[in-house]
Every structure is written in C-alpha cells, then in structure tokens.
Amino acid sequence: MIQPFLDRHRKLRNGWWILIFFLVLGALLVPATIFAKARGIELGPGPQAVLAAIATAICLALRREAATTVIGPWSSWRLGVPLGLALGSAVWVTTALVLWIGGHVHWSWNGPAAMLAAGLLDCLAVAVVEELVFRGFVFQRLIAGIGAWPAQIAMAAYFVLTHSEGIASAGVAQPIAMLNIFLAGLLFGAAWLRTRSLSMPIALHFMLNFVQGPILGFGVSGNESAGLLQPTVGGAPAWWTGGTFGLEASLPGTLVVLLALWLVAGSPQVWRAGK
C-alpha cells in the first residue's frame, strides 16, 4: 500500500517538507508585511532575506540537519564566491560589449560612485533571499525526491513565474525575457549542483544584478535602475538590446547565458546528480 506521508525509510516525504517550508515562510512573511504596511514602509529584500534564512533554519532544525546541508561546507565559499563574481561580471559585460561594438548602446557618466553602496546592499539581499528560496531547502528536497533535472526544470519555471510582472512589461521582448530568466534559473541551479554550495549561486546572482543595474545602468528584470553609467540605447529593436527590461531581454544575452550555463553544467553527471 502506498504511504502518502512516509517514504520507504519511514521518513516524511520530501513533498511534505516543501509544504512545511512554504508554510513556515508564509507564517513569517505575512505578519512582517502587515507590520511594515501599517507603518507605511515596504518590506525590502534585506528583511525578506532574514526571514527566508529563519524559515530555512527552522526546517533544518526539524530535520535535525546542519546549516551546511543547504549552504554547503564553509570551505566551498573560498572558491565559490570568486567564481560566481567573475562569471556574473563576464556575462553582462560581454553582452554589453556586443551591443557597444554593434553601435547599439553607449554610456555617459552618471555617478557619483557613492550610489553604488545602496545598489550593492540591495542586490546582495535580493540574491540571498532568492537563492535561499529557489536553490536552498526546497531545491534540495526536490532533488532528493525527483532528481536533479526535473528539479531544475521545476524551480526554473517557478523562478520565471515569480518574475511574471516584470516580464509583462518587456513588450515585444517578452519571449526572450522569459527564456533568459528561465535559463538564469537553470544556471543558478547548475552552480549549486556543481559545487553543492550556495556560495557560487549567491555570488553569481548578486553580480549579474549588480553589473546590469548599479554599474551599467540597465533595468534589472524590468525594474528601472540608476547606475554608475547611464546607457543610451538606440538603432535596434528591443528584442536585441533588451529595451527598458534590461539585458535579460536581449538576444545577445541569451547566447551569453547559454554559454555560461554550458561552462557551469559541464558534464552530464551534473544533471543526473542527487537522486
């Protein structure tokens, strides 16, 4: 007889643990959001990251597992962080360089450099909260339950869904924006599968947003961003440059992200791992 709650090892099935995580996260986020709105403020990515970390810690405590189960061994951060920062920088710098060579974008100085501090903190908080939710506890329970490749598809699709509001603003570039965000979800997941650590996904996610917005001045997932540089885009359709959505909606961006995904995923074993 099929046991809906326990697996063959008499442990709670992974699907129930995923439900528990979202229930715990909701129990933290809902009152925090109500509290913030009552005071006329928005619950920013910083507090959201803290709450996501607390929800993760609670679920790990219930399973009697160490934090390293999700975030990876501490030793992995020495290599994962610089690798993620380097790859994240290369992706959008390469994309922007292609557009510049084609004469489709140029920049003017927007400064001051002090404005980077706020953008840095915001991008870091977004990377932490999104990677904890999309490549953290839930992702690992999915891998244990259905395998790496199905887990990758499921979480990348969910990643697209949570960005649907921004994608809707991309106009004619919507299909490319949707594809690139899906590919980015696969890229972040492949970074975890490659390193078994959140260090590279967080650093990679952070640098992609930081370079695209606060440095190069493009939109980030459809959100307008003031950057150290101010881009002027013209002479090409939005599906080529990304338009106001950002480089995430550009065809050159698609090609560069695919290249990054190929570099990170490497061997087929990365996609089959974990089940």
Per-domain residue ranges of the chain: 74-272
Q: What is the pLDDT of residue 59?
A: 97
3-class secondary structure, 6: strand
Q: What is the pLDDT of residue 1?
A: 55
Cis peptide before 112 (omega within 30 of 0): yes
3-class secondary structure, 96: helix
Q: What angle do CA 201, 197, 167 make, to 5 degrees?
A: 25
CB 29 within 8 Å of CB 48: yes
Among 248, 238, 219, 204, smallest CA distance to 86 is for: 204
Q: Which band of pLDDT confidence, cut at 50, 70 and 90, is reported for residue 272?
A: very low
Q: What is the pLDDT of residue 271?
A: 42
CB 249 within 8 Å of CB 173: yes
* Mean pLDDT of all residues in 195-213: 95
Query: Is the pLDDT score of 52 beyond 70?
Result: yes
Query: Is the pLDDT score of 275 beyond 50?
Result: no
Q: Say which range, 10-14, 19-23, 176-180, has the weakest mean pLDDT.
A: 10-14
* Mean pLDDT of all residues in 171-187: 94
Helices then strands (H, E): number in the chain?
13, 2
Q: What angle do CA 205, 82, 244 make, to 5 degrees?
A: 30
Query: Is the pLDDT score of 198 beyond 50?
Result: yes
Query: Is the pLDDT score of 191 beyond 90?
Result: yes
Give the pLDDT confidence of 73-95 residue by residue, as tens digits. 999 999 999 999 999 999 999 99
CB 199 within 8 Å of CB 72: yes
Q: Say which range, 39-53, 118-132, 211-225, has the weakest mean pLDDT.
A: 211-225
Helix axes 115-134, 137-146, angle to 10 degrees: 30
Q: Percent helix, strand and coil across the chain, each rounded to 5?
A: 70, 5, 25
Q: What is the pLDDT of residue 4?
A: 80
Q: With the CA atoms of 69, 76, 265 and 270 taken in that order, what torsion angle do they form, in degrees rounded to the nearest 10?
A: -40
- The whole-angstrom distance between residue 238's C-alpha and the CA centroid of its chain comes to 23
> Which one has a higher pLDDT value, 198 or 269?
198
Q: What does pLDDT average to over the chain?
A: 90
* Mean pLDDT of all residues in 163-190: 93
CB 273 within 8 Å of CB 195: no
